[in-house]
């Protein structure tokens, strides 16, 4: 039976709702209802690293550290479902050549090389947001302009985040980011929440909320792939 994407979203969201109501561990819901992914390659890119910590939360959270935690948790779930996961970085270090004059450029070029070598079905880049207005909140998903597959995947992730993590009801947006533009592979960038919002920074650091966000990204990927 061929289910439409909308129908699949409905089923997954219904399962999530039932699981939450029943107090069941939600991590098993999609895994058990989907076939193994037979080694499809997904690149997980944890933003920043090394001397580039990214945003700093009002309570001192370093973005590069929390990106790595979320990215590793997502990689574990995807691997358990049969994907072959390639991570652009697995530790706190950046990817730049220490002798490079422009370390940011060197870092991003290395990420591009890893993506091209991996020849992935999907690239997912994990970041945390920051904004001068402290009340800004919620997760935002981005795709490259013209990347129709990326748009579809970004919306599946965004809508799961909206439903499950209480993100404001919105669609994914076009984003002009190097990691999206550096290849022609289907790519999504997820800003998981705002470190500039004191309440959201605390939430993002809690294991329970991390599990919800990671699960939402994972569920969106499972719907897409
Ligand atoms: Zn970032």
> What spacing in Å lies between the alpha carbon of 87 and ligand 1's midpoint?
16
- The CA 115 to ligand 1 mean position distance, Å, reads 18
CA 204 to ligand 1 center in whole angstroms: 14
Q: Rounded to the nearest whole angstrom, what is the distance from the C-alpha of residue 51 to the centroid of ligand 1?
A: 13
What is the whole-number distance in angstroms between the Cα of residue 52 and the centre of ligand 1? 9
> In terms of Cα–Cα distance, which of 121, 101, 132, 124 is closest to 47?
124
- Output the pLDDT for position 177: 96
Q: How many domains does the chain have?
A: 1
Q: What is the pLDDT of residue 18?
A: 45
Quick one: pLDDT at residue 9?
53
Ligand 1 centroid – CA 11 distance (Å): 32
Sorted by sequence, the CB contacts under 8 Å of residue 137 that are 6+ apart come out as 168, 193, 194, 197, 199, 200
CATH label of the domain that carries residue 40: 3.40.630.40
Alpha helices (H) in the chain, listed in sequence order:
5-22, 27-33, 63-80, 103-118, 148-165, 178-181, 198-205, 207-224
What pLDDT is recorded for position 4? 53
Q: How does pLDDT run along the chain (225 residues), one tens digit per residue? A: 444 555 555 555 555 554 444 333 444 444 434 455 678 999 999 999 999 999 999 999 999 999 999 999 999 999 999 999 999 999 999 999 999 999 999 999 999 999 999 999 999 999 999 999 999 999 999 999 999 999 999 999 999 999 999 878 799 999 999 999 999 999 999 999 999 999 999 999 999 999 999 999 999 999 999
* Distance between Cα 48 and ligand 1 center (Å): 6
User: What global pTM score does this model have?
Assistant: 0.85
Range of the domain at 116: 5-224
Model pLDDT, residue 8: 54
Ligand 1 centre and the CA of 157: distance in Å? 18
Q: pLDDT value at position 90?
A: 96
Q: How many CA atoms lie within 13 A of 140 on its CB side?
A: 13
Distance (angstroms) between ligand 1 centre and the Cα of 199 equals 19
φ, ψ dihedrals at 206, nearest 5°: -85, 135
| Ligand 1 center–CA 79 separation, angstroms | 24
Instruction: Give me ligand 1 centre to Cα 187, in Å.
Output: 15
Q: What's the CA-to-centroid distance between 189 and ligand 1, angstroms?
A: 10
Question: Ligand 1 mean position to 32 CA, how many Å?
Answer: 32
């Amino acid at each position: 039976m061929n289910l439409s994407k909308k129908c699949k979203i409905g089923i997954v969201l219904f399962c999530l709702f039932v699981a939450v109501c029943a107090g069941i561990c939600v991590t098993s819901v999609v895994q058990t209802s989907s076939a193994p992914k037979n080694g499809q390659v997904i690149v997980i890119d944890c933003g920043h690293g090394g001397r580039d910590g990214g945003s700093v939360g009002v309570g001192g959270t370093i973005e590069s550290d929390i990106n790595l935690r979320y990215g590793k948790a997502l990689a574990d779930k995807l691997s358990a479902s049969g994907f072959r996961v390639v991570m652009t970085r697995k530790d706190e270090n950046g990817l730049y050549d220490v002798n490079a004059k422009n370390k940011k450029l060197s870092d991003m070029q290395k990420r591009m090389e890893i993506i091209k070598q991996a020849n992935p079905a999907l690239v997912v880049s994990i970041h945390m947001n920051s904004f001068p207005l402290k009340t800004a909140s919620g997760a935002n998903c981005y795709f490259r302009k013209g990347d129709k597959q990326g748009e579809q995947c970004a919306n599946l992730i965004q809508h799961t985040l909206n439903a499950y993590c209480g993100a404001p009801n919105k669609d994914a947006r076009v984003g002009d980011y190097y990691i999206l533009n550096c290849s022609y592979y289907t790519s999504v960038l997820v800003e998981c929440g705002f470190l500039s919002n004191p309440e959201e920074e605390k939430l993002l650091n809690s294991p329970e909320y991390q599990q919800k966000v990671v699960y939402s990204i994972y569920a969106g990927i499972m719907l897409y792939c």
